[in-house]
Structure 1
Amino acid sequence: MRPQTSAWLQAGPLAAVFALFFVVPLALVVVVSFWQATDYELIPAFTTQAYADVFRGCADTSALCVTLKTYLSTLKFAVLTWALTLAIGFTIAYFLAFHVRTTLMQTVLFLVCTVPFWTSNVIRMISWIPLLGRNGLVNQTLLATGAVDRPVEWLLFSDFSVVLAFVHLYTMFMIVPIFNSMMRIDRALLEAARDSGASAWQTIRHVVMPLSRTGVLIGSIFILALVMGDFVTVGVMGGQQIASVGKTIQVQAGYLQFPAAAANAVVLLAVVMLMIAALMRLVDLRREL
């Protein structure tokens, strides 16, 4: 058997699974986005009405349309979550990779980081409510110490609580790829930097950061994709009061407005793909891997 034929046969099963569970459902979403809908049925007839509804009012330059406001709100959460998870994830990964000497201890500490993933996202989100609520532990502590005169209202059901939950849920998706990139760095490069008189910060800036950019890119793709499509976290931690693209799609699907939900999903996919394409231009991922 020719090597090329053998390679295609080996890739065939995975390609079939990919097509069945990703390409076909995605194609169906695109098709449904062009269907017509009434209050009680879907009509498989071509129309762009769903997309017209999505971008309704966006041509008016005097004010932002609802769709643009929703995307800006979602993008705000994505950028804030990305920045915080990057700072936390890079710090933890650097500590695990360069300050923990034994492989056993690295494994133990890495497993400790994964402990929260042993429970569902919903349970981890709900656990913040008795902490951040008006009568929660944080407010009671602040009142008891005299730090505030009244309960802090913005701790829960606010932008702060949504970002906090995102960081709690998704930081691990940033730690893992950065840690993997750092473990592949030749330690002789760090010794050479120290021998050349570089400080610890200069070594991080000129050696560790450039060589960790692949992990940063992969983690950034995970974070942006997860946050942009999330609707559960925004709904629970925002008290059903904060708009997001994922929440809009969920509500439309709940009211059986499938063409509108599908059109919003296609637009969201296009936006996320553009964001990923922009990130991919910063790093040649194929060459780095």
Structure 2
Amino acid sequence: MSTSPTTLPASTQAPGRSIAAWWQAMPLSLVFVLFFLIPLALIGMVSFWDFNEYELLPDFTFKNYVSVFDGCSNMDEMCVTFKTYLSTFKFSFLVWLITLVIGFTVSYFLAFYVRSSGVQTLLFVLCTIPFWTSNVIRMISWVPLLGRNGLVNQSLQGIGLINTPIEWLLFSDFSVVLAFVHLYTMFMIVPIFNSMMRIDRSLIEAANDSGASAWQTLWNVIVPLSRTGIIIGSIFVITIVMGDFVTIGVMGGQQIASIGKIIQVQTSYLQFPLAAANAVILLSIVLMIIWALTRLVDIRKEL
């Protein structure tokens, strides 16, 4: 007489599964703690230290945070800190807006106008080609193009459109935004394209059968269903631009200020507590932006 194997109840299996899940999560958790939480805690601790020209002085003082907002109580003129944050927010907003338009357009074309999956893959890979080289190389490549004697100015002068070189093409807000868009548009394309590929095509057919125009279908069907990708891409772009200092330094000719640039300069002068205080403030603002964006959509539920 054969006997069927005994099946353990769920309550008996649960502890083993729980332990296995903890073991699986432990390596990533250790990496997260060692390389993210502990460095952040150290930055927060150092931001309350004192310093002089030669050394750091372990202490607990708010002097660094007061120094960050020094002069901001003057209502007649905006302080340097507020001007710098406004400049950083300006670049973040412009880059976010431009990358959103480009990313949504490219993703929409790939997802709904390219029928062949092979062609989709090929075109998507072509979008990633700039990422095959270093960010620094891609950024510096704009210098010989946009410079006073660069290819763009020489071409425009050659065909008679301008008589003198255009000065604002390089080492300006324009060149900074252009470089940012070039470097980070892919961070917007990937999540939006992923969201659009998951849209049920029968919903679009139903909208068309109901008499909806192309714009109505786009605004009322595709955009809401792509919201998760838009939010994820926005988080990527905004957080990267907020902390970037290399691009602003090179493409701005070391003449344009940003919070990341200020932190980099302070560390170069060994003002680590002051730089740490600025980093904590910047991190707090970025986290508030991320929190506000994640309130618009439940990312964990929709992924």
TM, length-normalised to structure 1: 0.98
Alignment partners' CA distance in 1, 2:27 and 2:255: 44
Q: CA deviation at 1:22?
A: 0.3
2:237 alignment partner, one of 223, 240, 244? 223
Alignment partners' CA distance in 2, 1:151 and 1:242: 21
Alignment partners' CA distance in 2, 1:200 and 1:135: 45
* Partner of residue 140, structure 2: 126
Alignment partners' CA distance in 1, 2:199 and 2:105: 16
Q: CA deviation at 1:275?
A: 0.9
Alignment partners' CA distance in 1, 2:104 and 2:282: 28
Mapped pair 1:178 → 2:192: yes
* Partner of residue 287, structure 1: 301
Amino acid at match of 2:194: N
Mapped pair 1:257 → 2:268: no
Alignment partners' CA distance in 1, 2:28 and 2:73: 43
Q: CA deviation at 1:157?
A: 0.2
* Partner of residue 210, structure 1: 224
Q: Which has the larger radius of gyration?
A: 2
* Partner of residue 4, structure 2: none
Alignment partners' CA distance in 2, 1:15 and 1:62: 49
Deviations 1:208-266 (A, max 9, x none): 00000000000000000000000000000000000000000000001111001111000
Is 158-167 or 201-210 further displaced after alignment?
Answer: 201-210
* Partner of residue 13, structure 1: 27
* Partner of residue 269, structure 1: 283
Q: CA deviation at 1:104?
A: 0.9
Alignment partners' CA distance in 2, 1:130 and 1:286: 44
Q: CA deviation at 1:190?
A: 0.9
Is 161-170 or 271-280 further displaced after alignment?
Answer: 271-280
Alignment partners' CA distance in 1, 2:152 and 2:31: 48
Matches within 5 A, 1:89-168: 89-168=103-182
The runs of at least 4 aligned residues of structure 1 exceeding 3 Å deviation read none
Matches within 5 A, 1:67-106: 67-106=81-120
Alignment partners' CA distance in 1, 2:16 and 2:135: 48
Alignment partners' CA distance in 2, 1:78 and 1:92: 21
Mapped pair 1:26 → 2:40: yes
Alignment partners' CA distance in 2, 1:14 and 1:25: 16
* Unpaired segments ≥5 residues, structure 2: 1-14
Q: CA deviation at 1:136?
A: 0.7
Deviations 1:85-114 (A, max 9, x none): 000000000111111111111111111011
Amino acid at match of 2:124: F
* Unpaired segments ≥5 residues, structure 1: none
Alignment partners' CA distance in 2, 1:119 and 1:286: 32
Alignment partners' CA distance in 1, 2:84 and 2:78: 10
Alignment partners' CA distance in 2, 1:228 and 1:279: 15
Mapped pair 1:232 → 2:209: no
Alignment partners' CA distance in 2, 1:63 and 1:7: 56
TM, length-normalised to structure 2: 0.93
2:53 alignment partner, one of 6, 26, 39? 39
- Over the aligned positions, Cα root-mean-square deviation in angstroms equals 0.9
Identical amino acids, percent of aligned pairs: 68
